[in-house]
Chains A and B, each alone.
Chain A
């Protein structure tokens, strides 16, 4: 995070608790230690949970064997299980959590509203409508439909992107007003939900059941074919998201203040929303709309870092930790394997509630 105002002389401490001004050569900036610590802790948690997760399942493998397999010294069966079955699933989980966490933080900051998340704004509902249409119309009930032919992930991707673009276009009136965006998003959400509910009543019950698993968000049977496109998408979108971070810090003060401080507001907002929509779409196409990660995680991150707004990187890493951890739980603790989306909500929601009850009231975002 770079300085906004005049540059401090080398070695000057900015008098903010928990912050240190740093200058390396021509680059100066502030380090917010809580953000760094939370992000690091989350990253460590992702790695640890992922390592444990690689060894767990119907065929348990010890940590030493997992490590040996990862460097290419394991047996063939173990190598297949670890590298072809479990690793893609965990990688997809971590990437999806990362994407959803960052997307949620972007939406919440740009709309200045804690409820603004892809779940509430209808983008994941749009994806669900696309996917359910593909499952139901392409299944035993209909057939011959265009949506049925293109496959579920692509239909979900299209649904999310179309809804996201609609959101951007409809909320656009010489720039995006955060409040208007949330209201329009809720309307789009309702349309998506109505379509999903209606399609479910029209479907054969088998199709309805598999569609229901999909809209809960699941990591079952994910392969490298899902992980690689997601990785590519994140490699483009994540730097773009982080690049907006500095401007977002100004946007949170309100449109007028941001303009006064020299932010070109309209392009910034459009870019932020587009990046967030694309992140969500990529995540949803890979694993379904894993519920509430994007809503809950940034709010948890904001309370852990005690910052003024959801920190992007920490939100993403916490999201990854939540999804990987929830997936580990579904495969080990629970008597039957539930889709991971059930667990993310069941784990994330009480944590947010606990923070709410315990925490000081914040009427800011």
Chain B
């Protein structure tokens, strides 16, 4: 079976699966689509490399490519520039890379599982749960550094998603896109109510929380990246395993079951991946909206709906987008910085709106 099962299904119907029986023009179309996808994948890889390079070279102190190369390869005497590159820029870039990757992949999975292009992980209780965890850590335990928040944010994110999916699928008939979205909204409301109850009465907590909630890559050392890395690796593996099943689930649960897909295991794996990826990303950087929502919409333009392409490509575009936004945030208000979450919203929103207006929405 070819890697573009869904395209085959669409063009040839179930009887024509397997490629060789297809007529010449059909095969030509398939080849063309595969070429577009490969080209897109290649472009994305280049984009990620460019973004990472910029992220290492650009900052309140510009460092030339020669000095960057020297800092990365030459273990000799540390100069000021090599220290900046090794101690600050490289960890920050690495963190941006894994966080962007996770958010993009989680967005593609969440949209696939809720069958809703609005299935942003933020709507599924992750952000609200993480916020509650962080606020409790600040308010009750007096923790005040991003490295200290990580585990609380992660625990909160896990709790949030698990509760949303438990409640969203508890009603008769199980989880549907509508009940999941509503459960996510209701539970987020509840969590934010607690967050606000604490913050309104405790100014010190607000003072710490307001710098976490904007979502930033700055001030996070390599240790944070290492703390969340195992979760992200497991999450990415689960996501890759889960992606093919999503193509079948996208046809509706009954059809998927009829085609031999075991529905509940696939759902569980997918939800575990979303939870791990999104929870880890939020724990590391604070809530970063928009990457998970916007990236799959862009990627779908050249991959089509096939998740085995959509999921990895979304990850790559997410990483590139996050790094580029971070670079822009360092440049626009020099010598200060605009946090990456804010840059993403301000750049991402107009782009997203243009995308929505241009495309014919084949929804509902």
Contacts of B213 in A (CB 8 A): 197
Q: How far is the CB of B301 from chain A (nearest CB, A)?
A: 15
CB-nearest residue of chain B to A122: B349
Tell me if A341 counts as interface (CB < 8 A to partner B). Answer: yes
Chain-A contact segment, one of B54-62, B86-94, B170-178, B310-318 = B170-178
- Whether B186 lies near A352 (C-beta < 8 A) is yes
Contacts of B181 in A (CB 8 A): 114-115
| Complex CA–CA separation, A46 to B361 (angstroms) | 42
Contacting B at CB under 8 A, from A65-115, are 112, 114-115
| Complex CA–CA separation, A347 to B206 (angstroms) | 23
- Indicate which residue in A295, A296, A361 contacts B173 across the interface (CB closer than 8 Å): A361
Q: How far is the CB of B336 from chain A (nearest CB, A)?
A: 10
Contacts of B186 in A (CB 8 A): 296, 349-350, 352-353, 356
| Complex CA–CA separation, A345 to B210 (angstroms) | 21
| Complex CA–CA separation, A349 to B344 (angstroms) | 29
Chain B contact residues, majority secondary structure: helix
Interface residues of A toward B: which range?
A: 35 or more
| Complex CA–CA separation, A351 to B176 (angstroms) | 19
Tell me if A61 counts as interface (CB < 8 A to partner B). Answer: no
Contacting A at CB under 8 A, from B51-69, are none
Contacts of A209 in B (CB 8 A): 200, 203, 206
- Whether A205 lies near B189 (C-beta < 8 A) is no
Chain B 323-359 per-residue mask, 1 if CB under 8 angstroms from chain A, else 0: 0000000000000001101101110111011001100
Contacts of B342 in A (CB 8 A): 194, 197-198
| Complex CA–CA separation, A299 to B187 (angstroms) | 14
- Whether B189 lies near A291 (C-beta < 8 A) is yes
Contacting B at CB under 8 A, from A291-311, are 291-292, 295-296, 299
Q: How far is the CB of A354 from chain B (nearest CB, A)?
A: 9
| Complex CA–CA separation, A360 to B344 (angstroms) | 39
Given contacts A179-B364, A190-B349, contact A201 B168 (CB under 8 A): no
- Whether B183 lies near A115 (C-beta < 8 A) is no
Q: How far is the CB of A348 from chain B (nearest CB, A)?
A: 7
Contacts of B190 in A (CB 8 A): 345-346, 349-350, 353
Chain A 353-365 per-residue mask, 1 if CB under 8 angstroms from chain B, else 0: 1001111111100
Contacts of A361 in B (CB 8 A): 171-174, 176, 179
- Indicate which residue in B171, B194, B289 contacts A359 across the interface (CB closer than 8 Å): B171
Contacts of B73 in A (CB 8 A): none
Tell me if B2 counts as interface (CB < 8 A to partner A). Answer: no
- Whether A194 lies near B341 (C-beta < 8 A) is yes
Chain-B contact segment, one of A12-20, A50-58, A180-188, A267-275 = A180-188
- Whether A292 lies near B361 (C-beta < 8 A) is no
Q: How far is the CB of A229 from chain B (nearest CB, A)?
A: 26
- Whether A360 lies near B185 (C-beta < 8 A) is no
- Whether B203 lies near A205 (C-beta < 8 A) is yes
Contacts of B194 in A (CB 8 A): 346
Tell me if A147 counts as interface (CB < 8 A to partner B). Answer: no
| Complex CA–CA separation, A183 to B297 (angstroms) | 11
Contacts of B23 in A (CB 8 A): none
- Whether A342 lies near B200 (C-beta < 8 A) is yes
Which of B186, B192, B353 has the most C-beta atoms of chain A within 10 angstroms of its own C-beta?
A: B186
Q: How far is the CB of A255 from chain B (nearest CB, A)?
A: 10
Contacts of B289 in A (CB 8 A): 190, 193
- Whether B192 lies near A187 (C-beta < 8 A) is no
- Indicate which residue in A182, A212, A291, A350 contacts B206 across the interface (CB closer than 8 Å): A212
Contacts of B210 in A (CB 8 A): 197, 200-201, 208
Tell me if A216 counts as interface (CB < 8 A to partner B). Answer: yes
Tell me if A213 counts as interface (CB < 8 A to partner B). Answer: yes
- Whether B290 lies near A291 (C-beta < 8 A) is no
| Complex CA–CA separation, A295 to B182 (angstroms) | 9
Tell me if B35 counts as interface (CB < 8 A to partner A). Answer: no
Tell me if B79 counts as interface (CB < 8 A to partner A). Answer: no
- Whether B118 lies near A186 (C-beta < 8 A) is yes
Contacts of B348 in A (CB 8 A): 187, 190
Chain B 147-187 per-residue mask, 1 if CB under 8 angstroms from chain A, else 0: 00000000000000000000110111110101101110111
Which of A173, A188, A201, A291 has the most C-beta atoms of chain B within 10 angstroms of its own C-beta?
A: A201
Given contacts A114-B181, A197-B210, A356-B167, contact A191 B200 (CB under 8 A): no
- Whether B206 lies near A197 (C-beta < 8 A) is no
| Complex CA–CA separation, A70 to B167 (angstroms) | 46
- Whether B117 lies near A299 (C-beta < 8 A) is no
- Whether B189 lies near A349 (C-beta < 8 A) is yes
Which of A114, A186, A206 has the most C-beta atoms of chain B within 10 angstroms of its own C-beta?
A: A186
- Whether B356 lies near A343 (C-beta < 8 A) is no
- Whether B185 lies near A291 (C-beta < 8 A) is no
Given contacts A173-B357, A193-B345, A194-B341, contact A356 B201 (CB under 8 A): no
| Complex CA–CA separation, A178 to B338 (angstroms) | 34
- Whether A360 lies near B171 (C-beta < 8 A) is yes
Tell me if B298 counts as interface (CB < 8 A to partner A). Answer: no
Contacts of A349 in B (CB 8 A): 186-187, 189-190, 193
Contacts of B349 in A (CB 8 A): 187-188, 190-191
| Complex CA–CA separation, A7 to B52 (angstroms) | 70
- Whether B200 lies near A357 (C-beta < 8 A) is no
Q: How far is the CB of A317 from chain B (nearest CB, A)?
A: 21
Q: How far is the CB of A269 from chain B (nearest CB, A)?
A: 15
Contacts of A112 in B (CB 8 A): 364
Tell me if B211 counts as interface (CB < 8 A to partner A). Answer: yes
- Indicate which residue in A183, A295, A296, A299 contacts B356 across the interface (CB closer than 8 Å): A183
Chain A residues with a Cβ under 8 A of chain B: 112, 114-115, 120, 170, 173, 177-180, 182-184, 186-188, 190-191, 193-194, 197-198, 200-201, 205-206, 208-209, 212-213, 216, 291-292, 295-296, 299, 336, 338-339, 341-343, 345-346, 348-350, 352-353, 356-363
Identify the 9 closest CB pairs spanning chains A and B, nearest first.
A361-B173, A194-B345, A345-B193, A349-B189, A346-B193, A187-B349, A349-B190, A345-B189, A349-B186
Q: What are 13 A-B pairs with beta-carbon distances under 8 A? A: A115-B182, A178-B364, A183-B356, A184-B353, A187-B350, A208-B210, A209-B200, A213-B200, A342-B197, A346-B193, A349-B189, A360-B172, A361-B174
Chain B residues with a Cβ under 8 A of chain A: 117-118, 120, 123, 167-168, 170-174, 176, 178-179, 181-183, 185-187, 189-190, 192-194, 196-197, 199-201, 203, 206-207, 210-211, 213-214, 289-290, 293, 338-339, 341-342, 344-346, 348-350, 352-353, 356-357, 361, 363-364
- Kindly list 15 other residue pairs between chains A and B, CB separation below 8 angstroms, not including A183-B117, A184-B353, A187-B350: A187-B348, A187-B352, A191-B345, A193-B289, A194-B346, A197-B213, A198-B214, A209-B206, A338-B201, A343-B193, A350-B186, A361-B172, A361-B176, A361-B179, A362-B178
